[in-house]
Amino acid sequence: MLRGFESLSLRKKVYMDRIFLQSRLELVNQSFFSLPELPEIKWSRGRIKKRYRKITFGCYDIKKNEIRIHPLFKTAAFPGFVLDFVIFHELLHYVDRDILKKNRSFFSSSRKRVHNKNFKLREDEFPKANEAKILLKRFLNEHI
Ligand SMILES: [Zn+2]
């Protein structure tokens, strides 16, 4: 019996988590993009590549047309704008998806080409972009 209740609340929690991401995505879109259509958004499996001292905070999967966000944002004490910045960054990739497609076929997912000067200029249009980057970098330094 108790188990039933537990799984119910867990299901509810997963649902709430997803609604939360969805609402952040819509807010970032309203504030900066006004795109008529948006990709899906969900939590990633949350792997941490300690060996490379790297965490993928967010990614845009062009094949599935979905943004995935690292679940550390559920628990880490980041100010809200840091998650919004990560979503903003991935939405820029979504906007550039035609370029991503080209890159994939010709330059096998070259990070440098994707995060070029133009991309970085647009990224900096996010208020507190620098602050967000600093906080993310600090998190990496402290945790892996
Ligand atoms: Zn990126």
pLDDT digits (tens, 9 = 90+) for 6-57: 555 777 777 778 899 999 999 999 999 999 999 999 999 887 666 666 789 9
User: What mean pLDDT is predicted for residues 77-85?
Assistant: 94
Residue 139 has pLDDT above 50, yes or no: yes
Cα–ligand 1 centroid distance for 77 (angstroms): 22
Summarised one tens digit per residue, pLDDT across range 84-118 is: 999 999 999 999 988 777 766 554 456 667 898 99
Domain ranges across the chain: 5-143
Instruction: Say how many Å lie between the CA of residue 76 and the centre of ligand 1.
Output: 21
The pTM of this model reads 0.84
Q: pLDDT at residue 75 above 90?
A: no
More confident residue, 127 or 108: 127
Ligand 1 centroid to residue 8 C-alpha, Å: 36
DSSP string, 32-78: II--SS--EEEE----EEGGGTEE--EEEETTTTEEEE-THHHHS--
What pLDDT is recorded for position 130? 97
Q: What is the pLDDT of residue 108?
A: 47
Check if CATH label 3.30.2010.10 holds for domain 5-143: yes
User: 137: phi > 0 → left, psi -120 to 50 → alpha, else beta; which?
Assistant: alpha
**Cα 88 to ligand 1 centre (Å):** 10
Q: What is the mean pLDDT of residues 118-141?
A: 95
Give the distance (Å) from ligand 1 centre to CA of residue 86.
9
C-alpha 93 – ligand 1 centre gap (Å): 7
CA–CA distance, 1 with 70 (Å, rounded to integer): 33
**Amino acid 138: pLDDT:** 93
